[in-house]
Structure 1
């Protein structure tokens, strides 16, 4: 029985484990891709050779009032300020002066952004040149009713965007826990939507019947048949933006692709690029998954580190065991997430979620449900143990201790000699793909 050592990041250090090689199915980890070195040139090439529509210069005309939709301060990873100047330059060269361009920050139900945050989103130059507005999801006068989707979602959209002659979406594309992927239509729903629209759409991530929990057809990377995503697309179609520019970033936060063109076609092409970046062909699901989010800063708190849980679940057998390595020096942050673990049972938590759906609440509910469906052991700091137990997980101080707990569970399942293991060193940025 040959033992092999596996090293995984946790916080700013490493944890190691030695496992019999014959029990390890696969180390599921992505490869490297080439980075964009000239962001301006890549942006101009994208908007001049778009996907699914004409070049941006042919879609806008002198006299048009153009609304640029940008992500808020919580999405600065998409680095809007680095590629948006090239988009504005292309508009200027196409007969659209700065006076006819304005920016709407797609806050959804998030708070407004202060001036310093707007500078971080747009960069100093564009912030000084263009009018900038925050979307208001709660203002009855700020949003216009456009109709109802096939799933009954009332469509209220930012009045400024509706009244613009042309709307251009920007943002970034990555995987999303229940919408499949972010980016694209999410700039409109929830970005520019009224609170009633957002609540009705997001509740589609749960089953129709109370007590059913998470809708199993709304999950990471799924687009077709994902009713949350499809409803978002219907909402976006009411506004029908004329163009889209989205970035795709690697795990280091560098540009690997910029996609531009039709608001759906270009976004969809971008999702396929994300899968080339994050998707890894997996051999088989395993009884145990040992996963790291990649270490600091991805595991600075549970809210961030939890992004590795859905990919791990995809690589795990039913009734499997997940060992998560998360340092979490700020485990209670943000309070809007951790305060959701105040319930003693799934049903009470679900009812409260349905009454006041928020993304942090849904993520907490997903984690709580996962801890009931699987055995989840979290390697973390001893001072976090009480907090970990609140989430339904089992705490452990070291990977060796977690493996001992996992072995006892495997023995109880009659798998002491037959167990299989998948290892995911960068779970936040890895998606197992099965044929």
Structure 2
């Protein structure tokens, strides 16, 4: 069988194992431009024309290179519509929503945004570069919501994004692109802390009664997220595009994604190993690639027996990762004696970015994680995980194996 590795594939053979492949039903792919134009014609809530006036300064927050989104197409459609309203290009600032990821290079921005790269700036999360727009939290609010100045100072805030399964928010997209991507450490620290991540309802694939998602949405209201243009995708490609109010956009596309991505599993079957495909852009570094393991083991249905292992083919050209969050993740894992000690230590609190070390530690308490085919084997071994050259080296002969070719776009559920 073929599994993703970076932008290509690798051949995987497990001749001595019983293999089951978790293949989502998928769906019918759509033409992104046509679907985006149609979404703008029939948005959730008032149309863009009623939210933007000629002469407004417009900020459009887009995802960074860690998300597989055709932002060049979505941005092109938005700019055409803004131009028809009377908003010229020079009144539009495109803010790349980095969160705590590393800044994108000029070459990466040009590759991502094409002819609109000249409008783009990297978000700066530094304290002096953000403005508080309100607070969220329990009992009246205890977490400041801080937004980058280019976004906070704009008359109108738009965003692109992808509604895809997310470990904590249920599904990403909507207000998250703005309040996390163009926000500060404060909201990331609050939403990604151990108290929030341990709350009932904070889980992959769930948006209703999810405190994490609800906090992001309230923060989006404070940040003035006026209009979203989001898509969802599956193994076959982009499956839908929706526009308008951020909550409704997420709900619409999450329903499309669930129908396309859910794989029911026999409740009585437990696997010895799960091979978790990830591919580009998520296998650029260990921080992102470990999502494949946590999505499988901490989703609605963990398919593994106790002690079963997770295997991730991932190239890791950036090692652990180069952004602030990625370095914190790496420092926590490489400094730990074992997963149990790390988990207990992180339950007391951690800095933003280290939440990925927290959820990885949760998985490592019950399962071994192997990363194969990487350029950063030493980094993997430093981080309480094992590195092998090939998938076959990480799976014991005779194992009952579940192969999840697209682990980040597959929802494993009870049959």
**TM-score over 0.5 for the alignment?**
yes
Aligned equivalent of 1:133: 121
Say whether 1:30 aligns with 2:13.
Answer: no
User: Residues of 1 paired with 2:377 and 2:51: CA distance?
Assistant: 57
Please report how far the alpha carbon of residue 275 of structure 1 lies from its aligned counterpart in structure 2 after TM superposition.
Answer: 1.6
Of residues 187, 195, 206, the one that matches 1:207 is: 195
Say whether 1:188 aligns with 2:187.
Answer: no
- Matched residue of 1:309: which SS? helix
Please report how far the alpha carbon of residue 261 of structure 1 lies from its aligned counterpart in structure 2 after TM superposition.
Answer: 1.2
User: Residues of 2 paired with 1:391 and 1:285: CA distance?
Assistant: 32
Say whether 1:104 aligns with 2:104.
Answer: no
Deviation per CA, 1:11-63: give whole Å up to 9, x if none.
5221224567xxx8x643213422223x3222111111112x02222332223
- Report if the CA contact (8 A) 1:78-1:249 is conserved: no
- Report if the CA contact (8 A) 2:164-2:232 is conserved: yes
Say whether 1:430 aligns with 2:413.
Answer: no
Deviation per CA, 1:312-336: give whole Å up to 9, x if none.
3243368524333334454981253
User: CA separation of 1:288/1:321 partners in 2, compared to 1, >3 Å: closer, same or farther?
Assistant: farther
Say whether 1:93 aligns with 2:91.
Answer: no
Say whether 1:55 aligns with 2:50.
Answer: no
Aligned equivalent of 2:306: 320
Please report how far the alpha carbon of residue 231 of structure 1 lies from its aligned counterpart in structure 2 after TM superposition.
Answer: 1.2
- Report if the CA contact (8 A) 1:285-1:317 is conserved: no
User: Residues of 2 paired with 1:385 and 1:28: CA distance?
Assistant: 27
User: Residues of 2 paired with 1:216 and 1:111: CA distance?
Assistant: 31
- Matched residue of 2:370: which SS? strand
- Report if the CA contact (8 A) 1:17-1:400 is conserved: no
User: CA separation of 1:294/1:350 partners in 2, compared to 1, >3 Å: closer, same or farther?
Assistant: same
Q: State which structure, 1 or 2, has the greater radius of gyration over its C-alpha atoms.
A: 1
TM-score with structure 1 setting the length:
0.78
User: Residues of 1 paired with 2:69 and 2:83: CA distance?
Assistant: 23
- Matched residue of 1:272: which SS? helix
Please report how far the alpha carbon of residue 100 of structure 1 lies from its aligned counterpart in structure 2 after TM superposition.
Answer: 2.7
Aligned equivalent of 2:12: 14
User: Residues of 1 paired with 2:192 and 2:69: CA distance?
Assistant: 23
Task: Return 40-49 or 424-433, whichever deviates more.
Answer: 424-433
Say whether 1:144 aligns with 2:132.
Answer: yes
User: Residues of 1 paired with 2:134 and 2:57: CA distance?
Assistant: 20
- Report if the CA contact (8 A) 1:294-1:426 is conserved: yes
Aligned pairs, how many?
397
Deviation per CA, 1:215-243: give whole Å up to 9, x if none.
56422112233322221111111123221
- Report if the CA contact (8 A) 1:62-1:95 is conserved: yes
User: What does residue range 220-369 of structure 1 map to in structure 2 within 5 Å?
Assistant: 220-251=204-235, 254-284=237-267, 286-288=269-271, 290-294=273-277, 302-313=286-297, 314=299, 315-316=301-302, 320-330=306-316, 333-335=319-321, 336=327, 337-339=329-331, 340-345=333-338, 346-348=340-342, 351=345, 356-359=350-353, 361-369=354-362
RMSD of equivalent CA atoms:
3.5
User: CA separation of 1:338/1:33 partners in 2, compared to 1, >3 Å: closer, same or farther?
Assistant: same
Aligned equivalent of 2:324: none
Aligned equivalent of 2:368: 376
User: Residues of 2 paired with 1:382 and 1:202: CA distance?
Assistant: 28
Aligned equivalent of 1:3: none
User: CA separation of 1:326/1:143 partners in 2, compared to 1, >3 Å: closer, same or farther?
Assistant: same
Aligned equivalent of 1:169: 159
- Report if the CA contact (8 A) 1:66-1:101 is conserved: yes
- Matched residue of 1:15: which SS? coil
User: CA separation of 1:186/1:28 partners in 2, compared to 1, >3 Å: closer, same or farther?
Assistant: same
User: CA separation of 1:216/1:289 partners in 2, compared to 1, >3 Å: closer, same or farther?
Assistant: farther
TM-score with structure 2 setting the length:
0.81
User: Residues of 2 paired with 1:188 and 1:381: CA distance?
Assistant: 34
Please report how far the alpha carbon of residue 85 of structure 1 lies from its aligned counterpart in structure 2 after TM superposition.
Answer: 0.7
